[in-house]
Chains A and B, each alone.
Chain A
Amino acid sequence: MTALTRGSARPNQWLRNLNAKIASIPMILTAVVIFLGGTIWTVVYSFTNSKLLPRLSFVGLDQYERLWAAPRWIISIQNLAVYGFFSLIFSLVIGFVLAALMDQKIRFENTFRTIMLYPFALSFIVTGLVWQWLLNPQFGIQSIVRSLGWTSFSFDPLYNADIVIYGILIAALWQGTGLVMCLMLAGLRGIDEDIWKAARVDGIPMWKTYVLIIIPMMRGVFITTLVIIASGIVKVYDLVVAQTSGGPGIASEVPAKYVYDYMFLAQNLGQGFAASTMMLVTVAIIIVPWAYLEFGGGRKRG
């Protein structure tokens, strides 16, 4: 490619593709001003004592000290860790298994695929409300099982502070695995049929082919999926609001809800900014290694 465009008198690097560069100026400006500017603004104001309206009177690390001393923030972080860990594992495993099953040239594949992907078309609010009803002990799964005769059956995760986060996890998995399945299926379809044939000739069992050959070949798909799931985890908010609004008590609080509540309900912007800066740090921890893997190691990718 580069060899073709290189003329006899080598043009200035900066002026190459000038039209494209001019055309992308608005996007660059947007990215710098809105994304970067907004981020820096938030971080700066997180060191102030802004209440309802932002004001620049610096109080050092006070907001962060208060944040990390707040039991609600600690619970939010713990919930995010539990929710994140399980939702990452389960949506990858379930998504991949479903995709692998779907890849067995079954009949009505289209229908199944549509059914699996449908929950993804619902917003988190709707998903949350649906599962709030399903998990409600008076109307949902518990009452159905009890009406079938098993009267001691008890299943009310949303009203039990110890396991409420798993109730939210169930809803999130129901909503999210369809998408993961589709991504994985696309990855599986991208694998050359000859590889399967070669594996079969060598007499390698199917599960071994998946684990040792196919999955390593799908590295790109896995990384993309991982980033999509991970960013979804950090920003989880509406699902919690719809299902439990943080309850019982503060047992299912998440960081994003802390940010919203303190910025707008408590009229304490400084505290909200400090919390959102901490969320940014979390996202950076996820994104930076990914960016390094994707773009840093350059040559290895095929």
Chain B
Amino acid sequence: MKLRSLAGALAATVALPFCAAHATDLEVTHWWTSGGEAAAVAELAKAFDATGNKWVDGAIAGSGGTARPIMISRITGGDPMGATQFNHGRQAEELVQAGLMRDLTDLATRENWKEIIKPSSLLDSCTIEGKIYCAPVNIHSWQWLWLSNAAFKKAGVPVPKNWDEFVAAAPALEKAGIIPLALGGQPWQAAGAFDVLMVAIAGKDVFENVFAKKDEEVAAGPEIAKVFKAADDARRLSKGSNVQDWNQATNLVITGKAGGQIMGDWAQGEFQVAGQKAGVDYTCLPGLGVNEVISTGGDAFYFPLLEDEEKSKAQEVLASALLNPKTQVAFNLKKGSLPVRADVDLAAANDCMRKGLDILAKGNVIQATDQLLSPDSQKQKEDLFSEFFANPSMTPEDAQKRFAEIIAAAD
């Protein structure tokens, strides 16, 4: 028996190259490894496999910070993968300029991406010198406050409806032995939380003046000073959440050990995997409940220039499969993000996603910092805020001064 099945397996491996002549293996690298993310990426793989090709999963654990250097060194080092995830915006800018990435303009015109992708800023971020280099797959927004209903119940206070109420409810949470605000130690989390506070407290115009126009006077001005005061509050509230990864911090909220977390809508995937229901077990406040604006950054797939013709064809197939309405729905429901096309039906969307879709439909959107700032400025910002949030002796005034310097030097 055993021997026969072994022989069968061997025969199958020999036969495979012949009968699967048209199927092409395409390695796709990405950093989606947490529970909700892995479930979502499986949907993409399913969609691509259905076209008769094979998705070879190249997940790199440890979030974008770890994954991106590996991806970039593979592309620049002459060992490109079939396709790779980046946050679209400026992360792959130089790779494109160096001629290492594939131009998708033909496919995009054929499939009319300009019409179907909404908001158009997504495609603009893929466009460099008039040519399109990436296929956006989702819209992720940072501006959410996730609250654990159980934690507030335990503390005996109603679930807050905005940031100010949240800050006011914090002492009750602390009394009940709950950390008010969960914040992981990874530097991007601190920097991201600050950007969220900025949009919520200072508003859309200030955000654009600082990050898009790089106006250092606004960055040093009174509006941003208010944001730093709020960040000072957030720093006080987040004391004691000794975790590193964002999903560990989300887990503190899921288990009711923390009151809330400022995190992008990808956190929603974690709530889903844990079997929690929006509105019942957890509450989400877009724009921290103050200023309902969301940023439209997200993930996109870039396709390195390959010599193999078969693979190049498969790249086009993949790009078009990613934007397929069905794939968009299946993927984004699992991921907790919003689809990049406005013409798909998200009947299964939950409470929080609907809030996001509404805001998107109203056009209350801003560009994500990844789209506006170079990775270099982003890193300097991360250094500043990870220091600020970990070091209570650093005054908001000092931090603001350094923030204004970073904005002044940004390109």
Contact = CB atoms under 8 A, between A and B. Distances in A.
A and B from one assembly? Answer: yes
Interface of A: 51-53, 66, 70-72, 136-138, 159, 161, 245-251, 261-262, 264-268, 271
B76 A53 contact: yes
Contacts of A246: 187, 386
A271 B389 contact: no
A251 B187 CA distance: 12
A249 B390 contact: yes
Given A71-B383, A249-B386, A249-B390, 10 more contacts: A52-B94, A159-B242, A161-B390, A248-B390, A248-B391, A265-B379, A267-B375, A268-B376, A268-B379, A271-B376
Nearest to B64: A265
Interface in B149-186: 185-186
Interface string B384-411: 0011111100000000001000000100
A267 B386 contact: no
Contacts, number: 76
B169 to A, nearest CB: 25
B72 interface: yes
A266 B376 contact: yes
B370 to A, nearest CB: 12
A159 B387 CA distance: 13
Contacts of A70: 380, 383
A51 B383 contact: no
Nearest to B388: A249
A250 B387 contact: yes
Contact of A51 (B242, B376, B378, B390): B376
Interface string B17-57: 00000000000000000000000000000000000000000
A247 B94 contact: no
Contact of B379 (A138, A247, A266): A266
Contact of A266 (B93, B186, B378): B378
A52 B390 contact: no
B383 A53 contact: no
Contact of A247 (B73, B185, B374): B185
What 10 pairs between A and B have smallest CB-CB spacing? A249-B390, A266-B379, A264-B69, A52-B94, A248-B390, A249-B387, A268-B376, A267-B375, A266-B376, A250-B387
A139 B382 CA distance: 29
B9 interface: no
A248 B72 CA distance: 28
Contacts of A52: 72, 93-95
A71 B94 CA distance: 27
A251 B388 CA distance: 11
Contacts of A268: 375-376, 379
A235 to B, nearest CB: 18
Contacts of B94: 51-53, 267
B98 interface: yes
Interface of B: 65, 68-69, 72-73, 76, 91, 93-95, 98, 185-187, 242, 244, 374-376, 378-380, 383, 386-391, 402, 409
A266 B375 contact: yes
A250 B376 contact: no
Contacts of A53: 76, 94, 98
Contacts of B73: 264
5 contacts: A51-B94, A53-B76, A246-B187, A249-B390, A268-B376
B76 A247 contact: no
Contacts of B376: 51, 262, 266-268, 271
Contact of A265 (B69, B93, B98, B391): B69
Contacts of B185: 245, 247-248
Contacts of B72: 52, 264, 267
Contacts of B69: 264-265
A53 B187 CA distance: 24
B380 A266 contact: yes
Q: Tell which of A51, A262, A267 has the most Cβ of chain B within 10 Å.
A: A267
A56 to B, nearest CB: 15
Contacts of A71: 383, 387, 402
A240 to B, nearest CB: 13
B244 A161 contact: no
Given A247-B390, A249-B386, A249-B387, A262 B95 contact: no
A247 B385 CA distance: 12
A247 B409 CA distance: 25
B220 to A, nearest CB: 17
Contacts of B374: 51, 267
Contacts of B244: 245, 247
A261 B95 contact: no
Contacts of A267: 72, 91, 94, 374-376
A262 B391 contact: no
Contacts of A262: 376, 379
A262 B382 CA distance: 12
Contacts of B379: 261-262, 265-266, 268
B80 to A, nearest CB: 15
B241 to A, nearest CB: 11
A268 B379 CA distance: 10
Contacts of B409: 66
Contacts of A137: 242
Nearest to A69: B405
